[in-house]
Structure 1
């Protein structure tokens, strides 16, 4: 993990994190991989018990997040974003591992996500953590091919 001077800290997001999380989402949205959230939207998601958001920090700096929802008795990853300047440091991997542990603690059998087929870094991240391809679909906004990936929460 080149360039990491502080340990990566992964925590459940709080409303105080909302502004910084919105900034991370704004930067990542410019690449077309995640949705941009305003601070108030992020605050609403954080306070909504139907969602679970974890924040990644290096020291006090918010550097990434993972947004998920409880769906069909499973945990569905909606978005994962890491500041461009902080990528390739293991932050995304730490966020996903945290989410898998959270699902296991909650007794949820599976964590799943949809990834655009052109998002090679995300596909590599999830495959490297043991996620398996379950479904290939063209029913993704913008005409992109999407891949459904999942992992059994107790596998990790």
Structure 2
């Protein structure tokens, strides 16, 4: 079954929040609850994209558009679908949306311990620009990454 990417609907918020809880936030307080995801979706300067197989969510990306750049807030791909190209497709959607909006930089943070994510982003051209001590609820440090688009 092919994976379909598209803008998220409010009804997707609980599934996105659950995926965030299990894939991105283990060991941390649950910050991206269904209510917070839905609120993020309603803000005009935010983008939420889903990847679905049939009616099932297999991935998502959330981003905030600023005046200078785009901040990739969250991205998640179901465990059994990792390394299938879904993450790369979601990032491409965010990057293309940034260019259309006239923004040519994407920034993000990733857990310092998440070596597979760091390799994933490096392969897509993201580079480290710093570290933030205790970024994740004072529990874990973040690596701050950036990518200049259109170069």
TM-score by length of 1: 0.83
Equivalent residues, number: 150
Residue of structure 2 aligned with 1:64, choices 59, 65, 70: 59
State the partner residue of 2:99: 104
CA drift at 1:87? 1.8
Residue of structure 2 aligned with 1:42, choices 32, 37, 40: 37
Q: Is it true that 1:51 corresponds to 2:35 in the alignment?
A: no
State the partner residue of 2:128: 133
Q: What are structure 1's unaligned runs of at least 5 residues?
A: 1-5
Runs of 4+ with >3 A deviation: 32-36
Q: What is the distance in 2 between the residues matched to 1:34 and 1:143?
A: 10
TM-score by length of 2: 0.85
Q: What is the distance in 2 between the residues matched to 1:132 and 1:41?
A: 29
State the partner residue of 1:153: 149
Task: Decide whether the 8 Å contact of 1:28 with 1:34 is kept in 2.
Answer: no
Q: What is the distance in 1 between the residues matched to 2:139 and 2:63?
A: 23
RMSD over equivalenced CA pairs, Å = 2.2
State the partner residue of 2:109: 114
Question: Relative to 1, partners in 2 of residues 1:35 and 1:77: Cα closer, same or farther, differing over 3 Å?
Answer: farther
Q: What are structure 2's unaligned runs of at least 5 residues?
A: none
Q: What is the distance in 2 between the residues matched to 1:95 and 1:34?
A: 25
